[in-house]
C-alpha cells in the first residue's frame, strides 16, 4: 500500500485504507458487543427476559454515524472516479488492442509493439479496443483497470511517476489462454522514449534502458 507508481495510486490506496479501517473497527466493535451481551444477559443471570422499548439518542447515533461514514466512502470513490474519467486534452495517445490472447500497442506514428512503452511524467491516454470478446486492461501498480469491449472504444488515462517495468494483466476471464495476457508496461525517461518511438527499432535495448533508468533514478 502507498507504493503505487501513477498519479492515481495515492488516492486509490487512501480510499481503500479508509474503507478497511472503518470496516475493521466495526467488525471488532460489533463482535465485542455481541459476545459481551451474550455473557451479560445469559439465562442463568437473567432468568426473566426484559422488554426494552427504545433509546432515541442511541438510535440517532447508530444511524447518523454509519451514514456519514458510508457517504464519505462514496464521496472518496466518486471524486477519484471523476478524475480518472477526465482525460487531459493533450494526453499522448496510444491505441491498445486486446484479442484472444495478446495485447498490442500502436503509437501515434504507427509503430507497433506487444509490450507497452511510455514516457515518465507524461499524461498518457489509452484507446482500448477488443477484436473479439471482453477483456480488461489492468495495471495493478498504477491502480488502473478498465474493461475492454468489442465494437467500442474506451479511454483510460494515467501519468506514470516511476521509471521501471510493471505488470499488465487481463482482469476479465477471456478464454482458455486468458493467463497469456500477462504483459509489461515499461516507463522510460522522456528523451529515451521519444528517441525510441521515432527510431526503426521495435524494442529498446534492454541494457541501455536499464542503465538509463538507474541513472535517472540517481539524479
Ligand atoms: Cu483477456
SS3 content of the chain, % helix, strand, coil (to 5): 40, 25, 30
Report the separation in Å between the CA atom of 158 and the middle of ligand 1, taken as the mean of its atom positions.
21
Query: What does each of the 219 residues of the chain score in pLDDT, given as a tens digit?
Result: 888 899 999 999 999 999 999 999 999 999 999 999 999 988 888 888 888 889 999 999 999 999 999 999 999 999 999 999 999 999 999 999 999 989 999 999 999 998 999 999 999 999 999 999 999 999 999 999 999 999 899 999 999 999 999 999 999 999 999 999 999 999 999 999 999 999 888 777 655 666 666 666 665
pTM of the predicted structure, to 2 decimals: 0.83
Length of the chain: 219
* Residues 6+ away with beta carbon under 8 Å from 21: none
Cα 69 to chain centroid distance, Å, stands at: 22
Rounded CA separation 148/153 (Å):
8
The closest alpha carbon to 143, from 24, 22, 2, 20, belongs to: 2
Report the separation in Å between the CA atom of 87 and the middle of ligand 1, taken as the mean of its atom positions.
24
- Domains plus CATH for the chain? 9-85 (1.10.287), 92-218 (2.60.40.420)
The grid cell for 33 is: 458487543
Report the separation in Å between the CA atom of 141 and the middle of ligand 1, taken as the mean of its atom positions.
18
Rounded CA separation 148/167 (Å):
17
Amino acid at each position: 500500500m502507498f507504493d503505487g507508481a501513477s498519479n492515481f495510486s495515492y488516492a486509490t490506496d487512501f480510499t481503500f485504507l479508509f474503507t478497511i479501517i472503518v470496516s475493521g473497527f466495526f467488525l471488532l466493535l460489533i463482535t465485542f458487543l455481541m459476545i459481551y451481551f451474550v455473557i451479560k444477559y445469559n439465562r442463568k443471570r437473567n432468568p426473566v427476559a426484559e422488554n426494552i422499548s427504545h433509546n432515541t439518542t442511541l438510535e440517532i447515533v447508530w444511524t447518523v454515524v454509519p451514514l456519514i461514514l458510508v457517504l464519505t466512502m462514496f464521496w472518496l470513490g466518486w471524486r477519484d472516479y471523476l478524475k480518472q474519467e477526465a482525460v487531459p486534452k493533450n494526453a499522448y495517445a496510444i491505441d491498445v488492442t486486446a484479442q484472444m490472447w495478446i495485447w498490442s500497442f500502436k503509437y501515434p506514428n504507427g509503430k507497433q509493439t506487444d509490450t507497452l512503452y511510455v514516457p515518465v511524467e507524461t499524461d498518457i491516454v489509452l484507446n482500448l479496443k477488443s477484436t473479439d470478446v471482453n477483456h480488461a486492461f489492468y495495471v495493478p501498480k498504477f491502480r488502473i483497470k478498465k474493461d475492454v469491449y468489442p465494437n467500442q472504444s474506451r479511454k483510460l488515462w494515467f501519468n506514470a511517476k516511476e521509471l521501471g517495468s510493471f505488470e499488465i494483466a487481463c482482469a476479465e476471464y477471456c478464454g482458455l489462454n486468458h493467463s497469456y495476457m500477462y504483459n509489461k508496461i515499461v516507463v522510460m525517461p522522456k528523451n529515451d522514449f521519444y528517441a525510441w518511438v521515432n527510431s526503426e527499432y521495435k524494442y529498446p535495448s534492454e541494457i541501455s534502458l536499464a542503465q538509463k533508468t538507474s541513472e535517472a533514478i540517481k539524479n
